[in-house]
Structure 1
Amino acid sequence: MTSQQHGGPGDRLTMAGSFNGLNVLANAHALTCTVFLRTDFGREGIGMFGLIGGLLILGYGSFANCYPMFIYFLLWIAALICQRVRSFRNWRRGAMIHSRYNGYPFISKRLFPRMSELNARGVDAFLCLAIGGVLAQFSQPLGFFVMAGFLSILFSEAVMVEGTKRRLQTMRDAEIEQRYLAEQYKAGNF
């Protein structure tokens, strides 16, 4: 009788694992565009997404056989270094920035100064669409890569907004539970 080997729970592709993978790819691709549009990233705001983003640029550029993607990669590295230097300067000055903050939408806030930061982040996506459309006139693969930033920025921002809503809901539920427990404690019902 032969025994069958069954893989552990980590061997199966799950919906959560697929979503997390998609989220990492979207954040990495979004960073390939937002590094030009935003400032004041947190200490870890670039981190792993920066590494994967660089691999995305090089991989797509190689696959599409597009020399302008290599130039984009060099410009991206220069912008990334500038952002890291700025993050270090902010840290030295004692600025209170969340370590995973993915940047202040500097360009969008300059274009639309009265817009909230959250809405300005959405404008970043539309800027990628417009800039990518212009770049596509000169290099289609590069233009399409930047235009795809529209989807990746919107997706990553939507996930962040939904996560914030869930955390706020959890905090509100905890507040309600604590009030109830405090009332029960005061009444001696334990």
Structure 2
Amino acid sequence: MTNQESMPGDKLTMANTLNGAFLLAHAHALTCSVFLRTDFGKEGIGIAGLLSIFLILGWGSFGNSLPMLGFFVCWLIAVICQRIKQLINWQRGAVIHSLYGGRPWLSKRLFPRMSELNAKGVDAFICLIAGGLLTQFDKPLGWFVMAGFVSIMVTEGMMVEATRRQLQQMRDAEIEQRTLAELYKRGKF
């Protein structure tokens, strides 16, 4: 094999780039959302949780921030609590999508009439405000939490777009099936 030839999976595609960006944004969003949400799905934390560990510890090392270590310990405790909550939900027979990213308990408590999607957007603003306050005590920690605004907004935006595309595909499939059924009824095949 020459240098110019590549393996089939070696090409960098737009889909691979978007998947990588989504995973990174989701992992960072998870560093904040475990504190702001509850009732995660079985895989709602998943591989992004593992990447979150590296993000927190890496940023703390890069910023030479001891409070980031404290944040990591708090985050780890929050993840354990979320896992316990998942087990309790499973024992109670709650049906939750395995990839569900959690119900925004704090935002819904602050704004009870707000839809879940909008409440998840409020979670992003909570990160922005909390991060701004934390920068007064430790800049690396504050900026890390403030970046949760961007990562939560990107993650939720991509999820909304994925849902919109799924609905569009369902609508297209319905139209196609109706057309095929009409052709079948007429015997045009």
Pick the TM interval, shorter chain: over 0.9
Moved more, 131-140 or 10-19: 10-19
The code of the aligned residue for 1:25 comes to L
Tell me, in whole angstroms, the C-alpha distance in 2 between the residues paired with 1:19 and 1:42: 23
Give 1:47's aligned residue. 46
Long gaps (5+) in structure 2 = none
Moved more, 105-114 or 4-13: 4-13
Give 1:188's aligned residue. 187
Question: Could you report, residue by residue, the CA deviation over 1:86-108 in whole angstroms, capped at 9, with x for unpaired residues?
Answer: 01110111101000000000000
**Taking structure 1 as the reference length, what is the TM-score of the superposition?**
0.96
Tell me, in whole angstroms, the C-alpha distance in 2 between the residues paired with 1:36 and 1:72: 11
Q: Secondary structure at the match of 2:6?
A: coil
The code of the aligned residue for 1:106 comes to W
Give 1:110's aligned residue. 109
**1:20-31 paired onto structure 2 within 5 Å:** 20-31=19-30
- 1:178 is aligned to 2:177: yes
Give 2:156's aligned residue. 157
- 1:33 is aligned to 2:32: yes
Give 2:89's aligned residue. 90
Moved more, 127-136 or 180-189: 180-189
Q: How far is 1:16 from its partner?
A: 2.0
- 1:138 is aligned to 2:130: no
Tell me, in whole angstroms, the C-alpha distance in 2 between the residues paired with 1:13 and 1:165: 26
Aligned residue-pair number: 188
Q: How far is 1:10 from its partner?
A: 2.2
Give 2:124's aligned residue. 125
Give 2:2's aligned residue. 4
Tell me, in whole angstroms, the C-alpha distance in 2 between the residues paired with 1:116 and 1:52: 29
Q: Secondary structure at the match of 1:148?
A: helix
Moved more, 10-19 or 49-58: 10-19
Q: How far is 1:11 from its partner?
A: 2.1
Question: Could you report, residue by residue, the CA deviation over 1:72-127 in whole angstroms, capped at 9, with x for unpaired residues?
Answer: 00000000000000011101111010000000000000000010000000000000
Q: How far is 1:159 from its partner?
A: 0.2
Tell me, in whole angstroms, the C-alpha distance in 1 between the residues paired with 2:16 and 2:61: 28
Question: Could you report, residue by residue, the CA deviation over 1:8-59 in whole angstroms, capped at 9, with x for unpaired residues?
Answer: 2322322222221111000000000000000000000001011001110001
Tell me, in whole angstroms, the C-alpha distance in 1 between the residues paired with 2:63 and 2:12: 29
Q: Secondary structure at the match of 2:103?
A: coil
Moved more, 124-133 or 177-186: 177-186
The code of the aligned residue for 1:184 comes to L
**Taking structure 2 as the reference length, what is the TM-score of the superposition?**
0.97
Q: How far is 1:4 from its partner?
A: 2.7
Long gaps (5+) in structure 1 = none
Runs of 4+ residues over 4 Å off in structure 1: none
The code of the aligned residue for 2:2 comes to Q
Q: Secondary structure at the match of 1:189?
A: coil
Give 1:14's aligned residue. 13
